[in-house]
Amino acid sequence: MYNSQITRANKGAFILLLDRSGSMAEQTILNGNVMTKAQALADVVNSLLTELINRCRKERFIGDYFDVAIIGYSGDEADSLLGSGWQSIVDIDSMATDITRHRLERRLPDGTAYATIVDRRAWIKPYAKGRTPMAKALSSATRLASSWCRKHPLSFPPIVINISDGEATDSSHEQIAQLADKLKAISTSDGNVLLMNIHLSGQYENEECSLRFPSEREALSLGRHAKLLFNISSTLPELYNQEIEEFTGAKPPFRAICYNAPIDELVSLLAIGSLTMDRMI
């Protein structure tokens, strides 16, 4: 299980569920810059899309190795943020996007500082308003994963990454758990859908209480919401172990949840969540 290589015949898939509720308007710091959580999330997700496209870059074309769906949830709705439903990485690359200009600074070991300006593509725009309809997002993910797995029965199963800073406002913990179970029950011949939950820390939360890919034993001391996210998150297959061991210093098995994670870590966490990029051939 979880052995399939990602090829153009057996593509890989990601579903990102992005919390765009009002609390995402809180200030945070990403790479030393003060911004809203919504802006930071958009930046990090846009970086992930850029990375996916770059990693599929061949001599004269973008290899069609991945499908991606991005669902944003806020107010009472969960909406697709990349066209409708699934998009191939080739289609994502050819979409018209905003270009954002960034000033980068680098300091060499001898202290000399350099600056340059780079352009980055932005598919996702920041948004933060209303409540947190996470149940709707999980239901959308279930529909998307189900249709994808039917079309790609031999592929590595879809990886669903849910990024939020709060609790669902449209359902109880029990309902969220049931929806997550339904999502994780979907499979290809290579394994079940993997669900990863990244809970972002708030400005005033104690980051010492952060948890990254905890073990069953660590989960014993979790609060009610963290425990829910722990319970609904997949146990990660072996291929993730080395990266997570390097990141956390802990030993497997690892549960696909990061709780109270500072936004600065989101890039690394998504890099781990999207490790199947290394399975491209």
Partner 1 sequence: MPKFSTREILESLCFGDSMFRTLSNVEPLTDSRGIRFVAGREGIVVAAEVEGKRVALKCYTRPNSANVSLFSLLDSIDSPLLAKPQFLPQELWMGNCYTDITLYPWIEGETLEWTMRYLLHNHFRERLADLLGEFRKVALQLLEAEWRHGDLKPENIIVTPDGSLRLIDCDSIYHPTLPSRGHTGTPPFVHRSRGDAYDSHIDDYSIALIITSLAAHLLDQTLPADKTLITLPSEGFYPIVAPLFDERPHLKALLDALYSSDYKIDQLHNHILNLDV
- Contact between 175 and partner 1 (CB under 8 A)? no
Q: Using CB under 8 A, which of the segments 70-78, 110-118, 130-138, 222-230 binds partner 1?
A: 110-118
Nearer Cβ to partner 1 (177/271): 271
**Cβ count near 224 (within 10 Å):** 8
Report residue 106 CA to chain centroid gap. 27
Q: According to CB under 8 A, which one of 101, 103, 106, 224 is a site residue for partner 1?
A: 106
Query: Residue 155 has what DSSP assignment?
Result: S
- Contact between 109 and partner 1 (CB under 8 A)? yes
- Collect all residues with Cβ–Cβ distance below 8 Å to 219 and sequence separation of at least 6: 227, 230, 255
- Contact between 56 and partner 1 (CB under 8 A)? yes
Nearer Cβ to partner 1 (88/146): 88
Q: Using CB under 8 A, which of the segments 102-110, 134-142, 161-169, 225-233 binds partner 1?
A: 102-110
- Contact between 103 and partner 1 (CB under 8 A)? no
Residues 8-47 that bind partner 1 (CB under 8 A): 47
- Collect all residues with Cβ–Cβ distance below 8 Å to 265 and sequence separation of at least 6: 212, 258
Report residue 100 CA to chain centroid gap. 21
SS3 212: strand
Q: According to CB under 8 A, which one of 2, 5, 239, 264 is a site residue for partner 1?
A: 5
Nearer Cβ to partner 1 (7/248): 7
Number of residues counted as binding partner 1 (CB under 8 A): 28
Q: According to CB under 8 A, which one of 27, 33, 54, 172 is a site residue for partner 1?
A: 54
SS3 271: helix
Query: Residue 88 has what DSSP assignment?
Result: E
Q: Using CB under 8 A, which of the segments 36-44, 192-200, 224-232, 273-281 binds partner 1?
A: 273-281
Contact indicator for 19, 73 with CB cutoff of 8 Å: yes
By CB neighbour count within 10 A (0-12 exposed, 13-18 middle, 19+ buried), where does 75 fall? middle
Residues 114-143 that bind partner 1 (CB under 8 A): 114, 116, 118, 120
Nearer Cβ to partner 1 (31/172): 31
Residues 57-76 that bind partner 1 (CB under 8 A): 57-60
* Residue keyed to tokens 């806020």: 74
- Collect all residues with Cβ–Cβ distance below 8 Å to 69 and sequence separation of at least 6: 13, 14, 15, 16, 80, 82, 85, 86, 87, 141, 144
Nearer Cβ to partner 1 (43/67): 43
Question: 262 preceded by cis ω (within 30°)?
Answer: no
Q: Minimum Å distance from CB 49 to partner 1?
A: 10
Nearer Cβ to partner 1 (1/104): 104
Contact residues: partner 1, CB under 8 A: 5, 7, 47, 50-51, 54-60, 104, 106-109, 112, 114, 116, 118, 120, 246, 267, 271, 278, 280-281
